[in-house]
């Protein structure tokens, strides 16, 4: 009788250990998958800015006027995959530190975006663009750089986040300089 109680106790303890491990691994899986989605969304924010820069360069080559970083100012923006230069100004946000003021990204057809269409997600994204002033001795270097930081937040009060940064330069100067 005593042996049966000991054996049953050992089986119960073993099963509880397995169940606890499964529950923890499920929780870790959710965290890792959210971090992965956040990283991809941050990378997409940088890619959107890169696309807008490419659009500026194309227009500059067609018309012969403008600069590679036209339409960009030192601001915070909420961008999505179809953001154009024409609507970039309407995407400016004033206070990215106010988590509640950031728009929630929605998932529709495999794409994340704003506008309230599709499944509501946990993610919010903004992109910070910084253009250094032309005050250094090497003016060409400053004029040809643009710093971009893409931040994706999620959680109760932005307690989880991913930040990616990039520096874009105007490497394709007219005349090959």
Number of domains in the chain: 1
Q: What is the largest CA-CA distance in the chain?
A: 94
Sign of CA dihedral 15, 20, 22, 23: positive
Would you say residue 2 lies in a domain? Answer: no
Would you say residue 8 lies in a domain? Answer: no
Would you say residue 20 lies in a domain? Answer: no
Can you tell me the distance from the alpha carbon of 126 to that of 104, in angstroms, rounded to the nearest whole number?
Answer: 11
Would you say residue 131 lies in a domain? Answer: yes
- Provide the residue range defining the domain that includes 113: 41-176
- Assess contact for 144 and 133: CB atoms under 8 A: no
Would you say residue 69 lies in a domain? Answer: yes
pLDDT in tens, 24-48: 776 666 788 899 999 999 999 999 9
Would you say residue 115 lies in a domain? Answer: yes
pLDDT in tens, 99-138: 888 999 999 988 999 887 889 999 999 999 998 876 555 5
């Amino acid at each position: 009788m005593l042996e049966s109680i000991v054996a049953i106790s050992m089986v119960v303890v073993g099963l509880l250990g397995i169940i606890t491990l499964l529950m923890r691994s499920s929780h870790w899986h959710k965290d890792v998958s959210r971090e992965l989605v956040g990283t991809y969304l941050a990378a997409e924010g940088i890619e959107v800015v890169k696309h807008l820069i490419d659009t500026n360069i194309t227009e500059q080559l067609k018309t012969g006027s403008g600069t590679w970083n036209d339409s960009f100012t030192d601001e915070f923006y909420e961008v999505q995959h179809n953001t154009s230069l024409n609507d970039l100004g309407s995407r400016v946000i004033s206070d990215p530190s106010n988590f509640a003021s950031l728009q929630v990204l929605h998932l529709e057809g495999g794409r994340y975006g704003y506008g309230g269409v599709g499944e509501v997600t946990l993610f919010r994204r903004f992109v910070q663009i910084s253009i250094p002033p032309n005050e250094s001795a090497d003016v060409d270097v400053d004029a040809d750089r643009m710093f971009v930081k893409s931040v994706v937040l999620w959680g109760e009060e932005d307690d989880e986040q991913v930040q990616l940064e990039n520096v874009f330069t105007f490497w394709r100067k007219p005349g090959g300089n």
